[in-house]
Structure 1
């Protein structure tokens, strides 16, 4: 996105909606208002909770993306119209104003207005709430002058009035944790985050990081939702100062300086391992800036391995036509995800130095289940990852992720000569080719 750096800033609700506001326009391509009374109640409750918890500190509600067309004054609201319109209604009601056209009706905007009117009527101190809303509640305003990219934002799921994705909520949480940093630092992490593809972030957190967390703890994996974001909130300013959290706070604060002192001229592999040490998947994240660094690094790792793991040689990147057929397509979908998740966890813990030699065994472990079932579904995949495959399936019956979590030495993983089914249960020629490859791996 062509972000206008000079216009990237945090704005209070007063800045957005007050007398000196920048003219805004809802463009024709936006869908109608779709928030429900529940969304409105949550917004009002969240603001009240922030007012009670930190009355003198900014409360960052998220981002608003605007399109600035050449030679036109009004900015077009690409993302954030639902929240913006809700804040306008709330602000009007707090000032004892009325939007008479919305008082009666049953469309979403009518129902939200009526709910807001009820909530405002029940407030004990409207003046204090109004002051906090105007002066402390903020959004990060992002302005682009690229119409094509603005429409790409609109076409994505989040910008069609649907619920925010879990990683959007994580971004908002960790951005709020950066309240003590400079605006330049905050702009930098937002630009870094916005440069990533939505689907890549979905895949990173939902397909890999959340599953690694669950499987390594012998827990069943499921779809990563907003209810699961606590997995990646980490150690924040509000986390109690207990021995375990103090250890992680100290380690995160000291490690970068120690690494720079010990490895002033690190080569590429050493540099990558130093970053892995700072972003251990088994350790809690430090809330705020560190989370964005963590996400950027793990996104880089994921995209590297999605290509590198299907090469003949992970050190040189030499192509391998035999492996290429297993890197795409629905038939090997779950195997591919197991394979990449295992490699991400392995290298995060043990380095990439031995990846070339261990990679075939990870491949055999991840793709063996494809031969055991005519149709490999999610339940069988999840059971296999947790070491719960049935003995009759002829597969390994241990949890590789739990072994990695409990072992500091990769030689203790016992990946040699893993069992695989001796007979292919489908008529797919790709499965025959897969069996030949797996039988050659010891």
Structure 2
């Protein structure tokens, strides 16, 4: 199973969308249309520029990756759906057609259609533009009958072009593991994933989960990129069936059912602990549906703690105005990220039963480094998290993440009486306020 060489060719827009074409379908689990009017306008501008410069020459717009499953008479669009749908709308408008369902509305595809309609209305030579689009604008069509291979091409195309965010590639990887799952379930998973904000997913994987992984193993943290995807790919269909992987496969399969049987009436807090047991940060993920459940739960945890940790009381939930500067202030960004990452890891292992008591100590540990430097940068933060601080800085050489990874009992963490710098290195009034707050915590 490989690329179908007989179908590997450049195709004009007319070949792709005109009469006699092979039917194209966009799978239910694909990302919804997300181009903006600016993207579409740039496509039109590029085509017009190519027509003006070399009207008789082909204009290649990129690659389209298609999947043809055995026995099917249509192609599934793996990569290229945004361009394909935009070309369909543009071609329809140039032929004086209308797509009435798109004439009003506010979704991305509605806005793009309406923007294209305004552009086409201003064109002086619509017939010439249509001829060039149909006969000279081309894409390179790649067809494979192997789903894994199709997505490998998809990944490599996006590595070389405008890079997708790492979490987009994780989504594609884990959807591949759901090939035998009913389409309705795949669609539900994607809708759930797409309901999350892009920046929230970036923050979850890049700011918290990847750093927890590295710091707990005494490794330096860095920007989470496509080269780090293996951290979250987990145990998949292709993973060798060895004792360790079989253990994790069995745990992911059996534990939810056992929990439901043993705790049918769990309250909200107990239910969260049951989900934490299924989604342990120290354990390998299970590829496919389990990954999406993991991501959904950890997003909920992240969003809760980004607010909960800066409240007067973890039970009552009233914001504390005295802590607001530490929750949102740019000066305390790295400390805030340390604090939330530590709380995520702590509660994932030990529950949040003792969070009210442990929270001030986590705060003291995470915000202490702010006092040690006039300017707290990323390198100093990373070194502190890995336990590389020095007595000269007034900080303990203490890797809390590694300590948590190696301890099943939170009492072994020894967070009491960790030192903080005795003096403030900066002249910031906020730092002086912080020092007074930290000195109250033991």
TM-score of the aligned structures, taking structure 1 as reference length: 0.72
Q: Distance in 1 between matches of 2:77 and 2:396?
A: 48
Equivalent residues of 2:24, 2:76 under 8 A apart: no
1:73 to partner: Cα distance: 7.4
Q: Deviations over 1:71-100 (max 9, x none)?
A: 247998699xxxxxxxxxxxxxxxxxxx97
1:207 to partner: Cα distance: 0.3
Q: Distance in 2 between matches of 1:22 and 1:240?
A: 34
Identify if the C-alpha distance between structure 1 residues 22 and 288 changes in structure 2 by more than 3 Å, giving closer, same or farther. closer
Q: Distance in 1 between matches of 2:351 and 2:71?
A: 45
Is 2:78 aligned against 1:61?
Answer: yes
1:398 to partner: Cα distance: 1.3
Is 2:362 aligned against 1:349?
Answer: no
Equivalent residues of 1:281, 1:348 under 8 A apart: yes
Equivalent residues of 2:368, 2:438 under 8 A apart: yes
1:55 to partner: Cα distance: 7.5
Larger radius of gyration between Structure 1 and Structure 2: 2
The alignment of Structure 1 onto Structure 2 pairs a total of residues equal to 355
Q: Which runs of 5+ in 1 are unaligned?
A: 1-15, 80-98, 103-108, 121-128, 139-157
Q: Distance in 1 between matches of 2:407 and 2:78?
A: 41
Aligned counterpart, 1:85: none
- SS at structure 2 position matched to 1:325: helix
Q: Superposed, which structure 2 residues align to 1:262-341 within 5 Å? A: 262-341=262-341
Is 2:437 aligned against 1:432?
Answer: no
Equivalent residues of 2:326, 2:336 under 8 A apart: yes
Q: Superposed, which structure 2 residues align to 1:17-96 within 5 Å? A: 18-20=21-23, 29-30=38-39, 32=42, 61=78, 64=81, 71-72=100-101
Identify if the C-alpha distance between structure 1 residues 324 and 173 changes in structure 2 by more than 3 Å, giving closer, same or farther. same
Is 2:379 aligned against 1:379?
Answer: yes
- SS at structure 2 position matched to 1:213: helix
Aligned counterpart, 1:233: 233
Equivalent residues of 2:370, 2:431 under 8 A apart: yes
Q: Deviations over 1:166-200 (max 9, x none)?
A: 00000011111101111110010110011000000
Equivalent residues of 1:404, 1:410 under 8 A apart: yes
Is 2:181 aligned against 1:162?
Answer: no
Equivalent residues of 1:177, 1:288 under 8 A apart: yes
Equivalent residues of 1:62, 1:172 under 8 A apart: no
Q: Deviations over 1:107-132 (max 9, x none)?
A: xx8xxx6xx5xxx9xxxxxxxx7463
Equivalent residues of 1:365, 1:396 under 8 A apart: no
Equivalent residues of 1:200, 1:299 under 8 A apart: yes
- SS at structure 2 position matched to 1:293: helix
Identify if the C-alpha distance between structure 1 residues 20 and 239 changes in structure 2 by more than 3 Å, giving closer, same or farther. closer
Identify if the C-alpha distance between structure 1 residues 303 and 289 changes in structure 2 by more than 3 Å, giving closer, same or farther. same
1:391 to partner: Cα distance: 2.1
Q: Deviations over 1:346-375 (max 9, x none)?
A: 000000100000000000000000000000
1:29 to partner: Cα distance: 3.2
Equivalent residues of 1:219, 1:386 under 8 A apart: yes
1:321 to partner: Cα distance: 1.6
TM-score of the aligned structures, taking structure 2 as reference length: 0.72
1:390 to partner: Cα distance: 2.3
Equivalent residues of 1:61, 1:172 under 8 A apart: no
Identify if the C-alpha distance between structure 1 residues 389 and 55 changes in structure 2 by more than 3 Å, giving closer, same or farther. farther
Q: Distance in 2 between matches of 1:131 and 1:431?
A: 59
Q: Distance in 1 between matches of 2:212 and 2:135?
A: 53
Q: Distance in 2 between matches of 1:393 and 1:78?
A: 57
Identify if the C-alpha distance between structure 1 residues 21 and 171 changes in structure 2 by more than 3 Å, giving closer, same or farther. closer
1:30 to partner: Cα distance: 1.9
Q: Deviations over 1:259-286 (max 9, x none)?
A: 0011010011000000000000001111
Equivalent residues of 2:102, 2:110 under 8 A apart: no
Q: Distance in 2 between matches of 1:210 and 1:222?
A: 9
Equivalent residues of 2:388, 2:397 under 8 A apart: yes
Q: Deviations over 1:280-302 (max 9, x none)?
A: 00011110111111000000000
